[in-house]
Amino acid sequence: MKTLIIIDVQNDFMPTGSLPVPLGNEIIPVINNMVNKFDLVLATQDWHPLNHVSFASNHKGKSNFDVIKLHGKPQTLWPNHCVQGTKGAEFHPYLNTKNFEAIFRKGTNNSIDSYSAFFDNGHLKSTGLTGYLKEKGITELYFCGLAADICVYFSILDAFNEGFNCTFIEDASKALDNNKFETTKKDMITMGIKIISSKDL
Among 186, 190, 132, residue whose Cα is nearest residue 159 = 132
Which one of the listed residues 151, 158, 166, 174 is annotated catalytic? 151
Which among 12, 82, 106, 113 is annotated as catalytic?
A: 106
Quote the CA–CA distance of 121 and 71 in Å, as a whole number: 10
CB atoms inside a 10 Å sphere around CB 186:
10
Active site residue 166: no
Q: Going by C-beta distance under 8 Å and a sequence separation of 6 or more, which residues neighbour residue 72?
A: none
- The amino acid sitting at 2 is K
Cα(135)–Cα(47) distance, integer angstroms: 25
Tell me how far apart the alpha carbons of residues 7 and 103 are, in angstroms, rounded to a whole number: 10
Query: What is the spatial distance between Cα 92 and Cα 67, in angstroms, rounded to a whole number?
Result: 29
> Are the C-beta atoms of residues 52 and 111 closer than 8 Å to each other?
no
For 161, left (φ over 0), alpha (ψ -120 to 50), or beta?
A: alpha
Q: Are the beta carbons of 31 and 25 closer than 8 angstroms? A: no
Q: 200 an active-site residue?
A: no
Is 187 designated active site?
no
Q: Catalytic positions, please?
A: 8, 106, 151
